Structure 1
Amino acid sequence: MNESGKHNGKAETRIKICGLQSVEVLKSMIPLPVDYIGFVFAKSKRQITPQQAAGLIGVLQQWPDGKRPQSAGVFVNPTMDELGAVMSTAPLDVIQLHGQETPEFCQQVREVLDVQVFKVISLGGNPQQPELDAAAQLEMYEGSVDAFLLDTYDPLYGGGSGKTFAWDRIRAYHDWTAARNIPLFVAGGLNPDNVNALLSGYPLEGIDVSSGVETDGTKDIAKIKSFVERARS
């Protein structure tokens, strides 16, 4: 893959491996063609400190020129002060917002912190918040985010449940984002065994995996390699 994200003239699906905590695992990923490494700052069993993230971001500099993954930080309803404090220690390329952040807040984050913003749309399961249709959920954020990410709703953490949602729901979202040239990522229960089926059915711009490449709650380099290989095939 070259720097434009294309391989043999065709845009490749971007791969994000989320929830990294180990320097050694990250170093072992250097040969792999991944596009984003995600660090979780929200409450989670994968949560890390800004200081830990800074060390992991340092490892990203060891990737070959032109192949370095971008760093993404996962947050749920942060304040600008919280984001600024993290960024001063761990300069992220992307801020991924999993909560009820407004379009105005997303735009402020982009402008003040000079980062890309990915807005997560949680699907399936929040009884306190009836779901709008795809267009209604997305159009309010048009112009204030760089990408959208569909994930399965989780009542404790907002996302990262490790459960899939009904993939037939993807099409309505992707029709809207593709018409506006906004990348759409999908997360939620992906693993080496089902990623090929997802990408065979939907020409997505990006995929995001976390628990699906873990063994007993720890990132498993063999599963990461398998996931990447199958996604790229």
Structure 2
Amino acid sequence: MTVRAKICGIRSRKDLEMVVSAGADAVGFISGTTHYSEDALSADAAAELCAATPSFVNRVLVTHLEDAHAILDLADRVGVDTIQVHGLVDRDTLRAVHSAAHGRTIVRAVHVTGADAAARAREIAADCDAILLDSRTADRLGGTGRTHDWSVSARIVHELALIGRPVILAGGLNADNVDHAIGAVHPFGVDVNSGVETDTGDKDFTACAGFVKTAHESDRGRPVPVPRRRAPELQPTGSRR
């Protein structure tokens, strides 16, 4: 099964057109932030880019917001297909978002800062449609450009496969290391932001295309988790108008 590729941190029409041309399965718009991100957008800017996204590409809201109503209101305003809960929310908040998602898939970020990430992923897996494993620093919840311990990520993939919960790998990925990362972790999908940018923070077409091509050609024939519901943020929905 082909590994899905998401490119996050889309902040302009040029970025959007570039990553769509590169073949990305999903695009991420960062809005509603509590920690630093160069790619943060206003709700209106994110909504404009969402509306310009072709129907075969999945649109993902990546947000740090920690209140369920605020998260859902922002998702409605932007008009996305998937909500990536990337903030420091508790399980009750995640459950509330998931139960009121109205057909949207919910992806919960887990920061792999040690072996205890496996327990956190197991605990919240029932309250979302997929887990995204990312790196973090003291002031950043994503976009760190740093990898984490892939052996922990691989263990999480193995354990969550038993309940049919897909895992998406992020954190320090780029076109040069994504093949190795896939071979080490066997994720359902991979997610990149800073690893495909120029020095000015704009998306680089060659890097984006290389990342997507490598992801799509890697891991062919290897088993990956089969979700209970439709595949989450990395599959095109074909349902938008």
TM-score by length of 1: 0.84
Query: Aligned partner of 2:50: which letter?
Result: I
Letter in 2 for 1:185: I
Instruction: Spell out the pairing of 1:32-181 with structure 2 (5 A cutoff).
Output: 32-41=22-31, 42=33, 43-61=36-54, 63=55, 68-114=56-102, 115-124=104-113, 132=116, 134=118, 136-181=119-164
Q: How far, CA to CA, are the matches of 1:106 and 1:203 in structure 2? A: 25
Q: Aligned pair 1:220/2:213, yes or no?
A: no
More strand by share: 1
> How many Å separate the matches in 2 of 1:133 and 1:148?
11
Contact residue 17 and residue 38 of structure 1 kept, 8 A: yes
Identity over aligned residues, as a percent? 28
Structure 2: stretches of 5+ with no match in the other structure: 218-241
Query: CA shift at 1:27, angstroms?
Result: 1.8
1:196 and 1:142 map into 2 onto residues whose CA distance is: 26
**Residues in 2 aligned to 1:99 and 1:184: alpha-carbon distance in whole angstroms:** 17
Moved more, 177-186 or 21-30: 21-30
Q: 1:55 to 1:77 in 2, by over 3 A?
A: closer
Q: Deviations over 1:100-140 (max 9, x none)?
A: 31222112112223221111111227xxxxx6251x21232
- For each residue in 1:147-169, what CA deviation from the matched residue of structure 2 results, as whole angstroms up to 9, or x when unmatched? 00111122112222110112222
1:31 aligns with 2:54: no
Match of 1:6 in 2: none
In 2, Cα distance between the equivalents of 1:161 and 1:146? Answer: 24
Pick closer, same or farther for the CA change 1:107–1:133 going to 2, 3 Å.
closer
Runs of 4+ off more than 6 Å = none
Root-mean-square deviation (CA, aligned residues, Å) is 1.8
- Determine which structure has more spread, i.e. the larger CA radius of gyration: 1
The residue number in structure 2 matching 1:8 is none
Number of residue-to-residue matches in the alignment:
212
Rounded Cα–Cα distance in structure 1 between residues aligned with 2:116 and 2:181: 24
What is the 5 A alignment of 1:203-214? 203-214=186-197
Task: Find the aligned partners of 1:203 and 1:112 in 2 and give their Cα distance.
Answer: 30
Output the CA distance in 1 between the equivalents of 2:66 and 2:113: 23
User: CA–CA distance in 2 between the matches of 1:80 and 1:168?
Assistant: 32
AA aligned opposite 1:19: G
User: CA separation in 1, counterparts of 2:39 and 2:117?
Assistant: 31
CA deviations over 1:44-97 (Å, ceiling 9, x no partner): 111001111111111213x5xxxx111111122432342243233211111112
- Structure 1 residues not aligned, in runs of 5+: 1-10, 126-130
Instruction: Please give the alpha-carbon distance, in whole angstroms, between the structure 2 residues aligned to 1:91 and 1:208.
Output: 21
Task: State how far apart, in whole Å, the 2-side matches of 1:119 and 1:224 are.
Answer: 24
Distance of 1:98 and 1:163 partners within structure 2 = 16
Q: Which range moves more in the overlay, 209-218 or 161-170? A: 161-170
Question: Given residue 124 of structure 1, which amino acid in structure 2 is its aligned partner?
Answer: T
Distance in 2 separating the partners of 1:177 and 1:122: 16
Higher relative contact order structure (alpha carbons within 8 Å, sequence separation ≥ 6):
2
Contact conserved, 2:107 with 2:130, CA < 8 A, in 1?
Answer: yes
